[in-house]
Structure 1
Amino acid sequence: MRAKNLYRPISDNPQVLGLLLTLPALIAILAVVFFPIVSSFWLSLHQKDLSRPQFDAFIGLKNYFNLLHDSRYLNSLWVTLRFSLTSVILEVVLGVSTALVLNQRFVGRGFVRGLMILPWAMPSIVNAAMWKWIYNADYGALNALLTQLHLIDSYKIWLADPKWATILIILANVWKETPFTVILVLAALQTIPEDLYEAARVDGASAWRSFLHITLPLIAPVLMVAAMLQFIWGFQTFELVYVVTGGGPFSTTELTTLRIYATTFRSLRFGYGAAMAYLTSLAILIPAVFYIRSAYRRVVEM
């Protein structure tokens, strides 16, 4: 009877009981996520150079101020922004177009839908190795195909050209990430009532007008989610560029992830590399916050 009274206050208070039940998960999250975030931020406030440990010291925000004048880092930030925005635009356009086709009824539709997921499901390092082989100047499939189609006279070193290297890296990224947009848009298309299209056809609306006034507004929230996720993932791209171009030629494909990696693990400047990571995260966080606020405002208005 006494033991029963001891446990009754906990069972009678659902908030306390819920806290106790989630406490192990909260501890794990703090240990795995929160502690590394705080620890790395504290590291970014130090001059931590493993090649010169005698000069390690607390320097406050000096690493962040130095980054604002670091031409190599600013160039990588611009390259990453251009890479992400171009990829997002292509992925959204191709994703919507492909989803519209897959939403139609045709023989083998289920098989084609399943096939679409393969590029996105492929491990990033495998995808990068595949595209490195395709772009190879000596035995790559791209040169072989273009030569057989008589579009080029001889094999070309595509990745040695800054312009082509950027374009080909973007195309490789679009090939892998577009299926994610296709899946989201296809799911959104299947929630649109067919009655809306029938009413539009009765009113004499063309297929293009139906798309502009029915389909596009109804899938717009999903497109916003897909675009924001793809933009963030663009800033996180590492394996593709590391394997295919290594950031070259002349740093034209050096993304911020590659610059952070080189600074931290090659130059052993851990404090400066941590500051790079946080400043890059801030560049991603700003548009994400604006998106979340606009999405929340739209939901409240509805």
Structure 2
Amino acid sequence: MSRNYFDSTFLPPLREVIRSNNLSSRNSYGQHFLLDINLIRRIVKNAGNLVGETVIEIGPGPGGLTRGLLEVAEKVIVIERDHRFSNALQQLAIKSNGRLEVIIGDATQIFLKEVISSNRTAKIVSNLPYNAGTKILIHWLRDLSRINSMTLMFQKEVAERITARSGNKSYGRLSILSQWLCHTQKLFNVPASAFVPAPKVISSLITLKPRTSKIFPAKFSALEAVTRATFGQRRKMLKSSLKTLIECPEIILHDTEIDTTMRAEQISIEKYCAIARNYAKIHSTDLN
């Protein structure tokens, strides 16, 4: 099977696609487009070997990153919430010889098992919309069974929250949920000038590779609830922040050998999972 499935050099420039389809970014969707083919190919390269793979992209917009993915992947599935981009993406699908599938819909409402055949997994490569990236990631973390890897662009601040370790000021709920289920790594920063329109912040590309098994046992819903409570009041001691969730948090903290005066960012993933297990025992009927 040839490595060169698709040659994007024969396509009209992305700026021309945007102009001819009367497209523009919308702040309400957190849209910032990647048009630099060299940067696009760097992102694709950092996603690993995509030859023969099914790749999913969220928020393709006019299809800049999509073009780079089609150059190497066997199949690309794009999910775009903004119907204005449908025509441009369908035009690209026609030129892909059936290797691009376009889905117009909300990625947070679409389950990957609905778009990937039962015997396949996919790699996700996306420049995620700024205002929905965190929500989309948590949606995927709930079921990683069809995901081989994720290479994602976030605002730098969000990327640091995903990859931060305990004790770091960026460490939080997103760090714990992501690292509990995945190996995470920050790859490189991307300046605001690389996007159209330019955002007010730096962006970062990161990878998340699902672990073969959870590093510590816990229910997702329980761990999510515990971390939401503690980091929702991160300046408070655990014995205070957990009272919004547990009537007598001192008992659970004592059982897990955690100092009740510690604060949220001081607690390891292992200890959070222990708290979540004890919380689940008490509130099993409230958790799925």
Short-chain TM bin: under 0.3
Structure 1 or 2: more strand by fraction = 2
**Structure with max Cα Rg:** 1
Structure 1 or 2: more helix by fraction = 1
TM-score under structure 1 length normalisation:
0.19
With a CA cutoff of 8 Å and minimum separation of 6, indicate the structure with the bigger relative contact order: 1
